Homo-oligomer: A and B are copies of this chain.
Amino acid sequence: MRTTTARAHPNIALVKYWGKRDEERILPAAGSLSMTLDAFETTTTVVPDGDRSADVLELNGRAADAEQTERIARFLDHVRALAGSAQRVIVRSHNSVPTGAGLASSASGFAALATAAATAFDLDLDNPALSRLARLGSGSACRSVVPGMAVWHAGDDESSFAEPVRAPDMRMVIVTVDRGRKPVSSRTAMRLTAATSPFYPAWVSSTEQSLSEMVEACQTGDFTRIGEITESHALRMHALIQSTTPPIRFLRPASVAIFDTVAELRSNGLEAYATADAGPNVAVLVRPDDAAALAGELDDLGQVRIVGPGPGAQLLPEGLEVPAATAHKGTAQGGTAQEGITQEGPA
């Protein structure tokens, strides 16, 4: 075993993941498709550490709390099972997601952790196996293992992983309107939706339909169709969530204003399509050449950032490590730790 470090990025889904058919193995009720971003990376170092009796987690230079640590330890149990090892480790993770950017870091976090831990435990995993492993930490993490556009097959345990899909080059303008905490976590909301929404079964079957249309639109490079499915599917996910009993709503007035503005821009010839994960912030899909103009138009409505397709999870060269907490205690970047690896990811 050896100390290893990996890096991964969050993703934003164009066909959303909402609902599990197996909570324990994190098997989704339907497939999904996302863009792994070129920003907001998470870097994670796994250090095998002698004869410790428990795993340790440090997030952004601070010791994590018991709940966060427990979630990581449960994930590492899967790695240990694969490796036939009982070794406990220190996990040091650093998120570059700005506080409240509205990009939950569980996808990048578990993609980076899976990649680093697999190597630390001397597992020789191919990309599908690495994606499957990341999935056990957080469903959408399996997509962040893959560069650019990734499709996550619902599948059974073996076949439920993400792989690349050919697609035209695109950008997203992320508009951050809210820096607060969600009223309810995605994980809890997802469970409540499946348990109480009368629309849930139809959501599952129609999502499979949307995914198959989206994969075809990506492969044929049909940006308009990609955009239409993206916006329609995002609004349908929020509709589904709103139909939970009692209702759950993630979109704020400012979020709705962005959807309205995007529709208006579109009718004026700037072709763009809005989507939102389980939170109030909105990501707007656009052709590369229109990204700057779109960002300018949306600038009044929140903090904007242009992102594009990014790399999959990658090992970093030996010698690059996330520093230990003790060395950083005084300079820990406040705020991001609580948004860290244990926060539920986007849909």
- Determine whether the beta carbon of A243 is less than 8 Å from that of B251: no
Report, as a range, how many residues of chain A touch the other chain: 20 to 34
The 4 tightest CB contacts between A and B, nearest first, are A198-B206, A239-B239, A253-B253, A199-B199
A232 at the interface (CB under 8 A from B): yes
Q: List 18 A-B contacts (CB under 8 A).
A: A198-B202, A198-B203, A198-B205, A199-B199, A199-B202, A199-B243, A202-B202, A228-B246, A231-B247, A232-B245, A235-B242, A235-B243, A235-B249, A252-B256, A253-B254, A253-B256, A253-B257, A256-B256
Chain B residue with the shortest CB-CB distance to A183: B263
The CA-CA distance from A199 to B202 in the complex, in Å, is 6
Min distance, Cβ A178 to any Cβ of chain B, angstroms = 12
Min distance, Cβ A175 to any Cβ of chain B, angstroms = 14
Other A-B pairs beyond A235-B247, A249-B256, 6, CB < 8 Å: A198-B199, A199-B202, A199-B243, A236-B243, A251-B256, A256-B256
The CA-CA distance from A231 to B249 in the complex, in Å, is 12
- Determine whether the beta carbon of B242 is less than 8 Å from that of A236: yes
Tell me the interface secondary structure of chain A in the complex.
helix
Min distance, Cβ A284 to any Cβ of chain B, angstroms = 15
Min distance, Cβ A243 to any Cβ of chain B, angstroms = 4
CB 8 Å contact bits of A190-208 with B (1 = contact, 0 = none): 0000000011011101100
The CA-CA distance from A311 to B206 in the complex, in Å, is 44
Question: Which of these, B201, B228, B231, B243, contacts A239 with CB under 8 Å?
Answer: B243
Question: Which of these, B231, B232, B247, B260, contacts A236 with CB under 8 Å?
Answer: B247
A132 at the interface (CB under 8 A from B): no
- Determine whether the beta carbon of A260 is less than 8 Å from that of B256: no
Min distance, Cβ A256 to any Cβ of chain B, angstroms = 5
A91 at the interface (CB under 8 A from B): no
A240 at the interface (CB under 8 A from B): yes
- A253 contacts across to B, CB distance below 8 A: 253-254, 256-257, 260
- A238 contacts across to B, CB distance below 8 A: 239, 242
Chain B residue with the shortest CB-CB distance to A202: B198
A259 at the interface (CB under 8 A from B): yes
Most chain B Cβ neighbours within 10 Å, of A199, A249, A254: A199
The CA-CA distance from A298 to B29 in the complex, in Å, is 41
Chain B residue with the shortest CB-CB distance to A231: B247
